[in-house]
Structures are given as C-alpha cells and as structure tokens.
Amino acid sequence: MIALSDIETTLAAFPRVALGHWPTPLEPTDRLRAERGGPRIWLKRDDCSGLAFGGDKTRKLEFLLGEALTEGATGVMTFGALQSNHCRQTAAASARVGLPCHLILTTQVERDDAHYVGSGNRLLDDVLGATVHVVADNDAALVRCGELLDADPGLAVIGPGGSSPVGTLGYVAAGIELAAQLRDAAVDPAAVVVASSTGGTAAGLLVGLEMGGAPAPVRAVAVYADAATTRATIEYLAAETASLVSAPAPNLARLTVDDSMLGAGYGIETDASHAAVDVLARTEGVLLDPVYTAKAFAFLLASSEIDTDDDVVFVHTGGQTGLFAYADAFASTS
Ligand SMILES: Cc1ncc(COP(=O)(O)O)c(C=O)c1O
C-alpha cells in the first residue's frame, strides 16, 4: 500500500475539474440476500456520481476535461453508440466547463424503435446542448471526426468510453476511494465485479485498489467484445495508467474477464440481464441499466465461484437512463 499523502500528491499532479459528488456510497443489499441467498453484495454507487444522472464516466471526465482545458481546447468531440452513456456524460461535463461538445453517434446497435432513437441518453444529449452527428458505423465516425477537426483543429478528441490512460486515472481514484471504504467497513471482498467495454473502469480499479491497499480480485464482465479482446484492452490500460502514476504494474493474476453474459452482443438484452434488472429493482429499489450493469449483475447472480459467506462488491457504473430507450423491452414485465 502506498501512503495516502503520496497517492494524493501523485493524482494532484494531473489537471482535473470537479464534476462529481465523492465519495459515492458503498451500500449493502440485505433484502436481496434475504430473498435470494448468495454472498453479501455491496453496491459501490457510482451511478450516484452526481452529473446529469451520474455514472462511471464522471470520474474519467474530471481528468479528461482537466487535460483539455489545460491544453486550451476550443471544444470537445467524442464517440459512442446512439444510446451512449459516455456521450451523455461528456455533453454534461462539457456544458459544466463551458466548452461546445460534438458527439458522433453510430447506429451500430440494431434497434430503431422510437424509444431507442429518441429517448434515454439520445434525448438528454439534445437537452444538454451537444451537437449530435449520427453515422452508420465506426469507419463513418472516423471520417466525420476528420472533417470536424479540419474545421476546428482545437477540438479535444476523447476516445470511446474515455478510456485513455488519463481517463483511466478517474478509476484509479475510485479504487483508492473504495479501498478506504472497505477498510472502514471492515470488509475484505472476495471479488469486485464490474461491467467492461472500453476497459478503463476495470483497469483503473485494478490499479487503484492495489495502490489503496485492498488488492481484491477484479472480475470484469465483458458486454461489448469477447473476453480475450476485453482482457487485452484492460491489461494495456492498467499497465499504461500504472506507469502514468509511477505505481508498480498491477498483479494481472487478480483480473478475470468473463463474456458468458454477452448474449447476442452489445446493446442486446438477454433473459438473464432482464431478470437482474427486475430483481434488484424489486428488492432494493435500485435500478440497473439494460446494456452494462444488467449483464454484469446477472453474472454475479449466476456465479457459483463466489461463496455464500463471502462479501463481494458490485460497482454500479450507472446508465439507467438507457432504461427509457429500452422501454419496448421493459414496459411489459409484471
Ligand atoms: C453504465 C456503464 N457501465 C460500464 C461501462 C464500461 O466502462 P468501460 O468502458 O470503462 O469498460 C460503461 C461504458 O460506457 C457504461 O456506460
């Protein structure tokens, strides 16, 4: 464990803007356990990060926009699917710091009902004042990115999910924050479970938990790509980010990546993810999102590797605004 004052000095060396409400709560789920049995699940409530319905991107954007402002950016540009939580949070963060925001959104998820196309995050992007460019796929997104940069070379380009090493610093801070909460609550979790797509959230947690002295195993639940691809991204980001903060490379044996909940692919719900949304909502009054946390929580509920006597932390990374976009899938449940 690195001394807290050293960690604070290290992170303070990076430009950062205050966007969130920290620390986010760490909460037990007693009713869920009484109903279903299983391990003691603690929710790390990053869905309550405080910026425009919250979520994991708030932490990354504190560092990414800190960097953009320091470099004198004239605006911000980023990418995602039509219902991207990252894009909604980037629009909000840009508004907060007074920078124009361009969102390049792809129609890669095969849904075209009115809720998906016009509600949820897509609606909020408009409310938050972003300029939205809808394109077919990642290739078209790169072309549009080039055109926008030609028109304004001062735009700061934030990659998908904000998962650069600088963005990942946000989850180093989260891991350190969680380590302190676990110490205070005298909880030694058998695992920290988190949804993973662009990898920065899981990678930052790996580094931060170790720096904070709580090197729990991290179980990343792949919701975008297969386990091998997701693992390679997390490993790369963990190594780069650790070196950015001059920390030792994290012990990668602590990382497992599982893609058994992927189903038919990114953005497509499964019976298990749907059931996970229902059970947490109806026992704890906590909403999951349909794309990320529902699949990660479904993994946790199905996992036979975690003992019923164990504590386990589920990092709730937000995204519930997506439920409105998936109204067709959720409205009919009883
Ligand atoms: C709600 C939610 N959870 C988890 C993730 C995954 O985080 P990462 O892209 O850092 O792997 C995202 C990414 O957009 C998200 O929106």
Q: Would you say the CB of residue 200 lies under 6 angstroms from ligand 1?
A: yes
Q: Of all atoms in ligand 1, which is nearest to the CA of residue 204? A: 10
Pocket of ligand 1 contains residue 59 by CB under 6 Å = no
Q: Is the peptide bond before 165 cis (omega within 30 degrees of 0)?
A: no
Query: Is there a single domain that holds both residue 123 and residue 249?
Result: no
Question: Ligand 1 mean position to 295 CA, how many Å?
Answer: 12
Regarding whether 278 and 187 lie in a shared domain, the answer is yes
CATH number reported for the structural domain that contains residue 303 in this entry: 3.40.50.1100
Residues 6+ apart with CB under 8 A from 45: 24, 25, 26, 27, 316
Task: Say yes or no: 173 and 125 in one domain.
Answer: no
What is the percent of the chain where pLDDT is above 90?
94
With contact defined as beta carbons under 8 Å apart, do 49 and 24 qualify?
yes
- For residue 49, which amino acid is it? S
**Pocket test residue of 45, 48, 49, 56 for ligand 1, highest count of atoms within 8 A of CB:** 56
Which of 162, 197, 214 terminates a domain? The answer is 162
Those residues of the chain that have pLDDT short of 50 are 334
Q: How far apart are CA 18 and CA 157, in angstroms?
A: 20
**Whole-number pLDDT of residue 314:** 98
Check whether residue 304 and residue 193 sit in a common domain: yes
| 28 and 66 inside one domain | no
Boundary-marking domain end, from 162, 178, 210: 162
Per-residue burial over 101-137, b if 16 or more Cβ lie within 10 Å, else e, is: bbbbbbbbbebeeebbbebbbbbbbeebebeebebee
Are 70 and 134 in a shared domain? yes
Domain count of the chain? 2
DSSP 49: S
Indicate if 213 and 65 belong to the same structural domain.
Answer: no
Q: Which atom of ligand 1 is nearest to the CA of 223?
A: 6
Confirm or reject: Cβ of 162 under 6 Å from ligand 1: no
Query: Both 227 and 103 in a single domain?
Result: no
Residue 197 has what DSSP assignment? S
233 and 177 in one domain?
A: yes
Q: Do 208 and 72 reside in the same domain of the chain?
A: no
Q: What is the pLDDT of residue 305?
A: 82
Quote the pLDDT of residue 304. 83
Amino acid identity, position 54:
G
Are 209 and 317 contained in the same domain? yes
Question: Strands (DSSP E) along the chain, which ranges?
Answer: 26-28, 40-45, 75-81, 101-106, 131-135, 155-158, 191-196, 218-222, 255-258, 311-316
Cβ 46 under 6 angstroms from ligand 1 = no
Q: Residue 155 is part of which domain span? A: 57-162
Task: Clarify whether residues 191 and 205 are in a common domain.
Answer: yes
What is the pLDDT at residue 334? Answer: 47
